[in-house]
Amino acid sequence: MSRALAAAAAGLLLVAAPLLTSNTFVQHLLIMTLFAALLGAAWNLLGGYAGQVSFGHATFLGLGAYTTMLLHLRLGLSPWLALIAGGLLAALMAVPFGWICFRLRGPYFSLATLAVAEITRLVVLNWESLTAGPMGLLITTLPALTIFGKPVNWESKVPFYYVILILAALVTLATWRISRARLGAYLLAIREDMDSAEAAGIDTVRTRVLALALSAFFVGTAGGFYAIYFRYIDPDAVFAIALSVEMVFVPVVGGIATTFGPIVGAVFLTTLGEVFRDRFQSGHLIFYGFFMMIVIRFLPDGIWGRVRTLLVRRRAPNV
Amino acid sequence: MPLLRAIALTKDFGGLRAVSSLSFDLHAGEILGLIGPNGAGKTTAFNLIAGFIPATSGDVLLDGLSVLGLKPHAVVKRGIARTFQIVKPFRKLPVLENVTLAAFLHEPQRDRAEAQARRWLAFAGLEAQAERFASDLTLGEQKRLEIARALATKPRILLLDEPMGGLNPAEVDEACALVERIRAGGVSVILVEHHMKAIMRISDRVVVLHHGVKIGDAPPAEIVQNRDVIAAYLGEVAHA
């Protein structure tokens, strides 16, 4: 009961948040927090639950962003439909990506994902007839849209906030459902021991590709959102290794293989990142890195992972 | 027709022939012992049958249909489950979850899969450990957990790779009783084991491997009289 009440309060706060302030920087920060939560939660499906640590997830972000941009600019598709198409294309690309990388295990898998991501970035960078290469792609104006009889003001940040809120809520809901279903159990088995998972009758290749496709879908929609929100993309922005790494950090800080860990991680990393950037003009990444080291050393299960353990202990003190 | 038939099964690792043209039958309801000195190719034979490594040549028929070349999980679906010589439980998961994962193969509903898993834990004498983490169990318990996990996939054939290795005498007796209960439940068993007393006691028939070659295939009482087998175990001097 108290849990339902807490969830309702949190939901209400999230819906009301952008209306509580007219400061566009704070609104932008809220959007970027949810953006990071979406990426972290999507990465967590494969990297957290299934233990397949990908350093190449920017591939899916970039593919989603470029698909969205190109479908809108070249074919005139509504950017919001194009965003979903971006997610679907990213999910489709999970098949060749997985076919290449899942032959390898552990650190070798991680290195392969990094390599594939760099190859994809270079292809997009050099395929100028399609992608305009390093010039990037630009949306000048977003098409008008009316919701409940009112035109949406695309110059305001508020509509973008609700789009990213819906996406982040969807991935969180998907994670919650999966973690309680057979698929979630299979992912944990794969993380624990691949041979034993096979011996228990689990098709480890199919299950990993499925997890990757789901993960890629959500990262692809995040890429589509990035394209529409910033209205400009180039290969170095959306295929950046830094983005792949951020997707790893968010669940690591929040709590790997937990439903709400990525949200907690996104809140901490986004706010701290901004505070450090504000306080220390040069070298703010040093403090960011220092913070990461402290978390990994003292909270190996992440912030939410630790809190969850303490909550369980309080409920059942004898265990 | 035998339930399982290995035909001229061969595996080369580079220049080493680990298993050389191995043929044997397993009949329904049988406990077949598979013995041999270290490095004889027993575990390799298991890995070939269970699909963990590809064979160089030969075939494995289950009810007359080849299972060679299938992925391990597909072999499990056909009804051949295995345990590992060096136990590989899902260490960070509870004991019950270890077995539930395998029960999911035929039962996608979590509550029903868990109910089945509890029955298999009781069968293996682990019902009291259900909520503990697999890493907290003793070696003997972990071996039984692997057996419970394998049984939860509802196999027709169970391949047990040294289920008694490292156990104390009381645990060995328990393990023997468990293997006999498994057979009584309608599952045929192939047992790799170094514990001679145990294997001679519970096996209906024993296959002996030496350097990858089958040198004996007979009931236990005959195997202990076999000159080649004695030579393989005790060296040439023994019968000189």
**Mean pLDDT split into 10-residue runs, chain B, 240 residues:** 94 92 96 92 95 95 95 96 94 95 94 96 94 93 96 97 90 93 96 91 94 92 87 63
Q: Is B121 on the interface with A (CB under 8 A)?
A: no
Q: pLDDT for A120-152, tens place per residue?
A: 999 999 999 999 888 999 888 888 887 887 888
- Quick check: B92 and A195 CB within 8 A? no
Contact B216/B229 with Cβ under 8 angstroms?
Answer: yes
- Quick check: A198 and B52 CB within 8 A? yes
Task: Please count the residues of chain A.
Answer: 319
Cα separation of B180 and B173, whole Å?
11
Task: Indicate the pLDDT class of residue A272, thresholds 50, 70 and 90.
Answer: confident
pLDDT for A95 beyond 70? yes
Distance of CA B54 to the CA centre of its chain: 18
Indicate the pTM of the whole model.
Answer: 0.89
Q: pLDDT for B111-159, tens place per residue?
A: 999 999 999 999 999 999 999 999 999 999 999 999 999 999 999 999 9
- Quick check: A196 and B90 CB within 8 A? yes
Q: CA of A284 to nearest chain B CA: how many angstroms apart?
A: 37
| Residues belonging to chain A with any Cβ–Cβ distance to chain B shorter than 8 Å | 180-182, 185-186, 188-189, 192-193, 195-205
Q: Is B42 on the interface with A (CB under 8 A)?
A: no
Contact B10/B56 with Cβ under 8 angstroms?
Answer: yes
Cα separation of B224 and B228, whole Å?
10
Q: CA of A121 to nearest chain B CA: how many angstroms apart?
A: 34
- Quick check: A201 and B71 CB within 8 A? no
- Quick check: B74 and A181 CB within 8 A? no
Longest dimension (CA), chain A: 66
Q: How does strand B188-192 pair with strand B31-35?
A: parallel
Question: Smallest Cβ distance to B102: which of A193, A200, A203?
Answer: A200
pLDDT at A19: 85
Contact B26/B61 with Cβ under 8 angstroms?
Answer: no
pLDDT at A149: 76
Residue of B nearest to A182 (CA): B108
pLDDT at A280: 78
